[in-house]
Amino acid sequence: MNRGIKFVIVGLILTITQYLFYLFFALVIFNNNDILWLSSGISYIIATILAFVLHSRITWKERPPKKNGILMFFAWNLLTALVIAPFLTWFFKLFTPTYNFFYSLSFSMGLSLTYEFVESTLVFILVILITLTLNYFFYDKLVFGDQKKSNKIKAPVVKTVKKKTPAKKTTKKAKK
């Protein structure tokens, strides 16, 4: 299966997991959209641990992490959790007219969604789209080893040797 497809499948699993933790922290624990950045950061850290396990066993299973790959993986995700995701969350939270539109749309469709739910969900989706794209390229180039270098031990090549069979002698029957 193509690595990109594996990344997307693993990413969907991770996104759903992260989203459930995000909602739990945003709507149950903190219950305050003014600190969405904290819910985003905590859920990102939880998903990161699961991400390394799944990506190393599924997405890049034929390419073990580079010498400092594990450190790079967690350093990148720490940077993303503490700087990139909170910044993107703050930035996308500024798109109030967009959230008002989707809240009004959901209300006109008869959906009983709160404004806070609509806002937090759309912020989450926008942050995930950016961070997942960055993650793929970072993991592929800086975390996991080169496939050519990681496959140094190769199975021996078995050559088939054709046996030479003696040519059949054709005899001409003498005419009688």
Dist. CA 175–CA 123, nearest whole Å? 98
24 lies in a domain?
yes
50 lies in a domain?
yes
Dist. CA 170–CA 163, nearest whole Å? 21
Overall domain count for the chain: 1
Q: Which residue has the higher pLDDT, 160 or 60?
A: 60
Q: Are 118 and 134 in contact (CB under 8 A)?
A: no
Q: What is the pLDDT of residue 175?
A: 55
Q: What is the pLDDT of residue 176?
A: 53
Q: With b meaning 16 or more CB within 10 Å and e meaning fewer, what string describes 88-113?
A: bbeebbeeeeebeebbeebeeeeeee
166 lies in a domain?
no
DSSP state of 34: G
146 lies in a domain?
yes
In this predicted structure, the answer to whether residue 153 has a pLDDT above a threshold of 60 is: no
Count Cβ atoms within 10 A of the Cβ of residue 85 and give its class: 0-12 exposed, 13-18 middle, 19 or more buried.
buried
The angle that helices 3-23 and 115-138 make with each other, rounded to 10 degrees, is: 150
169 lies in a domain?
no
pTM of the model as a whole: 0.64
Where does the pLDDT of residue 160 fall: very low under 50, low under 70, confident under 90, or very high at 90 and above? low
161 lies in a domain?
no
Q: Which residue has the higher pLDDT, 107 or 159?
A: 107
Q: What is the pLDDT of residue 6?
A: 93
Query: What mean pLDDT, rounded, does the chain reach?
Result: 83
Q: Which helix (H) or strand (E) is 119 found in, with range? A: helix 115-138
Q: What is the pLDDT of residue 154?
A: 44
In this predicted structure, the answer to whether residue 52 has a pLDDT above a threshold of 50 is: yes
**CB neighbours of 114 closer than 8 A, spacing ≥ 6?**
none
163 lies in a domain?
no
Q: What is the pLDDT of residue 35?
A: 74
173 lies in a domain?
no
Q: What is the pLDDT of residue 162?
A: 65
Tens digit of each residue's pLDDT (9 = 90 or more) over 2-44: 988 999 899 899 989 988 998 898 888 887 767 777 887 788 7
Residue 144, SS3 per DSSP: strand
Domain that holds residue 116: 3-150
